[in-house]
Structure 1
Amino acid sequence: MTEHADVIDLAQQLIRRPSRAGIDDYGPVLGVLEDWLTVRGLPYRRLHGDRGTVGLLIEVAGGRPGPWWALDACADTAPYGDEAAWSFAPDSGDVVDGWLRGRGAADSKLAAAMFCGIAAELQGRAGDLRGGLAVLLDVDEHTGGFGGAHAYLADQEAVRPSGVLIGYPGLDEVVVGGRGLWRATIAVHAVSGHSGSRRTTPGAVSRAAHLVRLLEEAELPGAEDEFPLPPKLTVTSSHGGQGFSVVPDLCELGVDIRTTPGFDARAAERLVSEAVRELDARVPVPRPTEITPVASWPPYRLADDRQPAAALLDAASAEGLTIRPKTAGPSNIGNLLAGEGIPATAGFGVRYAGLHGVDERACLDDLPAVHTVYRRAVLSLLGSS
């Protein structure tokens, strides 16, 4: 681990600066990164969005023309949850029995430190490289806003990357695709009144329950030959009513639909609209049900021989690792990039435990191999070896 001591030390410092999304000030964790980069003479700048500073962008320009590629890792984290359930402090950042411990160790402060280390290595040989390498350190990832990625792509000074490698953990797989999503809130209305009244008009909660049945009974297509996962519909929330004596006049549902190339966002919206029309026809009230889409990402899948997937898979093979390409059920930032026409990989890194849960930790025994794989992949993409 001596060769990687600098990366581990940086990761420890990052874990010891809490950066829980929507809870902590990101200034301390950004300050650690900026101090580290400044000492090593790496060019960087802050990225800004609606939430203020949303990330750091490191740029290493090559000495020869060519495409740019990007490494991406988040420096914000999930919340701690029940701190009393942890067997060590969530911000400990210590190393015990070869495991780096603390929130963000797995997702993804160790990857952020490793990518900084790779940028520092390449800075010394930039003249031999084609194109350039960008490292995006996002501090608006766990909010779901992906503000760092949005700001990077909108930055007029940044070269648009030809592909992105995202440093989520996991040693056995590299994520080369994911189902898309279509999300909406649905406002189900009714006529309010007293629950003891003789009137039998159903309330909004009852109408919403009927709509949930319609949605969950709707037929979605099966898995397609070219995409390994089927679409999926989930009603994720229901809010309506108060107390016992009032017939509720509003109930709001949250609906999450995971989409595929054969069942895309338009098909998802059409399915929900048809269920809503059926509800309003079967159980009519004066005010129609309202659908408000809130998010939509396309599904994506890279062929194994498409960059940057090919470079990462080849580099892992050269290191003696057997990893398999995977299409993920959950969406990831790769979906956002796919919507911008930028291919991305995700989900290759060290082994981990407790991600987003109790006692999060990352296996440092895997760091040398993972670091080598990413370095080799980047050098291949940049036309060096």
Structure 2
Amino acid sequence: MADEQSATKKKCMGSDCDNDAGSLQCPTCLKLGIKDSFFCSQDCFKKNWVTCPRRKAGETRTNCLTRPHTSLCTSSETYNPFPTFPYTGPLRPVYPLSEHRTLPKSIPHPVWWQDGNPKYSRSLINRNKIEILDAAGQQAMRKSCKLAREILDIAAAAAKPGVTTDEIDRIVHEACIERKSYPSPLNYNHFPKSCCTSPNEVICHGIPDKRPLVDGDILNIDISIYHEGYHADLNETYYIGDKASADPENVRVVEAARECLEESIKAVKPGVLFREFGNIIEKHAKKKNCSVIRTYCGHGINKLFHCPPNVPHYAKNKAVGECKPGMTFTIEPMIALGKYRDVTWPDNWTSTTIDGKRTAQFEHTLLVTETGVEILTARTANSPGGPVSLPTVENGASA
């Protein structure tokens, strides 16, 4: 019988799901010694938690992926929700996630705030149509981007050893409310938080959780907001504690990513092809002995969170279109110390490097002008972070 079961593909425990099971098991079932409580995804588990075998064992608390069971553990207990997943590096998710955050109804919400569906048109006719903003639209983007920069700077100031990324998410959420803005990631395609926090080997889309930051981490904080009908998007990678900026490998990848963005922005002006930015970025990354992540790209942004054009960051890409005055889009290169390929965790969001090596990212929202470019999300004189020189070794040479 045991041999027969092992030869059969496990099915998801979700009552309305016909998918094969993934590596996700109910953490409480594991504690209770209940086996075979496999689900295909976190989302499916949340929808079908009542079918979990722990219910049959008499456990009637709420979803163990969103909060702890008071009869089984203390409120301070944390766990890895995907214990059998083959992680590529040392980082692990630390659950439970905090409760879903909400905003006052008086703040304009994007269409996905309730059901998670962006409802964007997927028409082949419109997929390469790039919006040209008029003067009013450009001014609205300036306002939204200025507020997004303020929020990122507030979050960055809080990013210190011992602080959890969930605490940073809370700070971001409250800063958005203070500015009458909706955090664009919240429930976008069911993303559970108000910002993305991506430490160390996480390329992008890291979900803020209960892991405290450690002296020596590098952390990308990605902020997107929706203000008065227009989105803004920016991110930076920060050195956490004194050890982070003393590590030559940290500095090499972080500063390479920063410089890749800066070099590509220098080329933005009317008539430049979107495919050209990838050539510039990859050339500079290779000078720093780094690779360019290919899975994710920059994008158009205005009344829509993501729209044409696509802006790949690698060389010899086939991006369509050229810069024209009034266009707003992001460039956001993700640069890695090792291989460019990526792996996604079972949460369906967190993307990490395939070899577990560190990665860094920087992003700006840009406006093409008649003569060049305006960086709408530019740093201010008081913005935390900024360039760091390579640490020196004892003989005085750069490491």
TM-score by length of 1: 0.26
The structure with more radius of gyration: 1
Q: Which has the higher contact order (CA 8 A, sep 6+)?
A: 1
> So what's the TM-score if we normalise by structure 2?
0.25
**Which structure shows the bigger proportion of residues in helix conformation?**
1
The structure with the largest strand share of the pair is 1
